[in-house]
Amino acid sequence: MSSFCKGLSSENSQSEYQMKDRFLDNFNTDSPPVGENIWYLCTVCDTAISSMSVRSIACSCYNLIIDVDAHRFSVKDESNFRVFVKS
Ligand SMILES: [Zn+2]
């Protein structure tokens, strides 16, 4: 784990998505859509994080990392990254 990750809080919320939520299929992984109802889901640890997070955050396994200070979003394993719209 890098020193960067140590300073991050990881989100241990229960799965926040529901069956009625809509998954997006076509998006650019480098710059995924951002919006009030748009969430990012890591399918490795089943953690959802808000695309509008106001603090730096990572999923439990650090596959998805939002670095607010650097205005950066990074994904380690794109095959385990999904975007959904909360309904
Ligand atoms: Zn994860």
Instruction: Output the CA 31–ligand 1 centroid distance in Å.
Output: 18
Residue 69, burial from CB neighbour count under 10 angstroms (0-12, 13-18, 19+):
exposed
**Domain ranges (residues) in the chain:** 3-85
pLDDT digit string (tens) for 37-79?
999 999 999 999 999 999 999 999 999 999 999 989 999 999 9
Instruction: Output the CA 77–ligand 1 centroid distance in Å.
Output: 9
Q: Are 82 and 23 in contact (CB under 8 A)?
A: yes
Strand partners, 24: 83
Is the pLDDT assigned to residue 2 strictly greater than 60? no
Q: Which residue has the higher pLDDT, 84 or 10?
A: 84
Instruction: Output the CA 60–ligand 1 centroid distance in Å.
Output: 5
Residue 83, burial from CB neighbour count under 10 angstroms (0-12, 13-18, 19+):
buried
Is the pLDDT assigned to residue 36 strictly greater than 80? yes
How many C-beta atoms surround the C-beta of residue 75 within 10 A? 16
Instruction: Output the CA 25–ligand 1 centroid distance in Å.
Output: 19
